[in-house]
Chains A and B, each alone.
Chain A
Amino acid sequence: MKDIKTAIFIAYKSLVKGSKSTLLLLVFILALSYLNMMFISGILAGLQNVFETTMINVLTSHITVGPEQEPEPKQYILNADQVRRQIESIPGVLATARHYSLAGSISFDKDKNGITKSVSGTIIGIDPIQEEKVLTIYRLLKNGQYLSPTDTDQIIISSALAGGYGVPAPSDLGGVRAKDKVKITYPNGVIRTYTVKGIYDDTIGIFETFITTREAESVLNTYNSASQILVKTDLSLNTLNGYEHKIKLLEPKLKVQNFLDILGTVAAFLNALNLISFIVGFISVLVAAITIFVLVYINAISKARQIGILRAIGIKQRIVVLSYVLQSLFYAFCGVLAGAFLVFAVLTPLLNRYPINIDFGYLSLVHRKMVVVLGTISLVAAGLLAGFVPARIVAKKDILKAIWG
């Protein structure tokens, strides 16, 4: 106890009377490291967030229910409306929508000269009313209008497929706009001509065409079935896995997947982001630790004589070391505080107000609790270690050598 008191006294006086420029430099470096770590992890988490949100909104919703797989894969979920009602009875499920997925080849004669361009893509049959509650395609129209349930000769297509938006791709249709006519050839031989009612901004470059359920059932000759049922949930009430589990209890035979399962490669990409964020954080901590080490070491060496005197008059080595560790703790605390101020009081609110516009959404900083806690702890720990080691090296020196060199 008296050792701690003495160490606190020595540390306090050193901080108050010691070099202010060293103090400022240390705090500055720590604050920057903290900022760097939190900014990179925050922006990557933000990126991931935007990406996932986009996926959920335009492609997969939270959970996708597919047809039976056992004993042999079925093509459709039968009695789809009944299945939907069952799923919707689960607390926290916000809405469901059924999809027919068809393959098809879309042809467009741009210059009306008989030369057509054909592109294959996914054709999805939707009920426009149900769909609005699950996917946000209806809000993403760039051109034209959204489908209504009775449209059988109209479709909407993704901007990537239409072409002429953003980066041109040789494989797109070369610039389809609303009111243009396209021809779709289905695998079962049905060929139909549609008027494009709208073009939606798919934001992630997928080739998709939406037709109405009614039209899909007419092409496929089915009724009240679905290739998938998309389920939108409230994730504040239960987890993704929790909902999955409840749906499986109701519909044990159907194939239930969440959006992460479906987006296999995308999930891998998101994992890569996490890894990058971890590496960047680690390097930040390392750089901070090395800098503190060097500064504390230089500081301790320049005070070797004083340390020698302290030990000569009977101050224990561990008190001297502790006093340095306490000083480092103070630096680390100030650094983290300054860094946290920059991140949470300046940068994050700023980016929330003025998010960065990236192609598929608006990017702002997202801070995961665990990353913040871990980052803070590791930076403080690095600061402590970087203060402890040099202080110990100098305090262990022979007393007379320390005083007279």
Chain B
Amino acid sequence: MITVTDLKKTYEGKVPTPALKGISFEIKDGEFVAVMGRSGSGKSTLLHQLGLLDRPTSGKIILNNSDVLALSDQKRTIFRLKELGYVFQEYALISEFDAWENVYLPSLALKGTPDKKRAQELLELVGLADRLDHYPNELSGGEQQRVAIARALINSPKVLFADEPTANLDSASSQTVLKLFLKLNQEFKQTIVMVTHEPEDKKYVHRVLWLSDGLLEKEEKTGKKY
């Protein structure tokens, strides 16, 4: 599903910062993978490259058999819309749209007609069936994050990326979100790549990629089957 080869990213600036120094790994279809490591080790940077939100300095990324770095900006945008789901650390909802509209917007952009039914089902799945017409400022942090997850799933992406999706949530909300991920992975075989700094989140995933100072330090199998 994902093949990364010798991925490097150096942030240009007064002092160039090498954030990824040559990373290679593979993620299989249906896998639930955690990316862990100390703060500043390059986790977000890696996810941005995988999520096509940034362009790496060098290396290769194959996503669902496409050499995504060879795509034009326009094609990358369509790829994001169609094949990828992305959940940010902060709740990244559009404040002028209610929960339902936030979720079905990407389906409108992809097909020209909003998939309102699926959006409703997804909001039910994330436990927000009764919050359809709430605007982001009328939702709690955990609820907003679950809306963001529903939005990421609306176009049935091949991979769901999540960058510390629970960092801003209390432990109860965090559990809800993580259990949701687990359910998505187990029931719908959703491939998930999640950045986290909570060691105990390991129990949900099949594998952990440990980053350290821009390098892949080790890959840890948790023993869970998928």
Contact = CB atoms under 8 A, between A and B. Distances in A.
Interface stretch (B63-71, B103-111, B200-208): B103-111
Contacts of A18: 96
A5 interface: yes
Interface in B75-112: 77-82, 84, 86, 88, 92-97, 101, 105-106, 108-112
Contacts of B81: 313-315
A18 to B, nearest CB: 6
B105 A309 contact: no
Given A6-B105, A309-B92, A317 B77 contact: yes
B80 to A, nearest CB: 4
Given A1-B112, A2-B109, A400-B53, A314 B96 contact: no
Contacts of A14: 96
Interface in B147-190: 151-152, 155
A6 B108 contact: yes
A316 B110 CA distance: 10
Contacts, number: 81
A404 to B, nearest CB: 9
Nearest to B101: A13
Contact of A312 (B80, B109, B114): B80
Interface residues of A, number: 26
Interface string A262-302: 00000000000000000000000000000000000000000
A317 B78 CA distance: 11
B133 interface: no
B217 interface: no
A17 B96 contact: yes
Task: Identify whether the interface residues of A are mostly helix, strand, loop, or mixed.
Answer: helix
Given A314-B78, A314-B80, A314-B82, A319 B95 contact: no
A316 B77 contact: yes
Q: In the complex, which range does the number of interface residues on chain B fall in? A: 35 or more
Contact of A403 (B77, B82, B92, B93): B92
B96 A13 contact: yes
Interface of B: 48, 51, 53-54, 73-74, 77-82, 84, 86, 88, 92-97, 101, 105-106, 108-114, 135, 151-152, 155
Given A313-B152, A314-B155, A315-B81, 20 more contacts: A1-B112, A2-B110, A2-B111, A3-B109, A5-B108, A6-B105, A9-B105, A13-B96, A309-B92, A311-B77, A312-B53, A312-B80, A312-B86, A312-B88, A312-B92, A313-B81, A314-B79, A315-B106, A400-B53, A400-B54
21 contacts: A2-B110, A5-B108, A5-B113, A6-B105, A9-B105, A9-B108, A10-B105, A13-B97, A17-B95, A18-B96, A306-B95, A309-B88, A309-B93, A312-B51, A313-B80, A313-B106, A313-B151, A314-B82, A314-B110, A315-B105, A317-B77
Interface of A: 1-3, 5-6, 9-10, 13-14, 16-18, 306, 309-317, 319, 399-400, 403
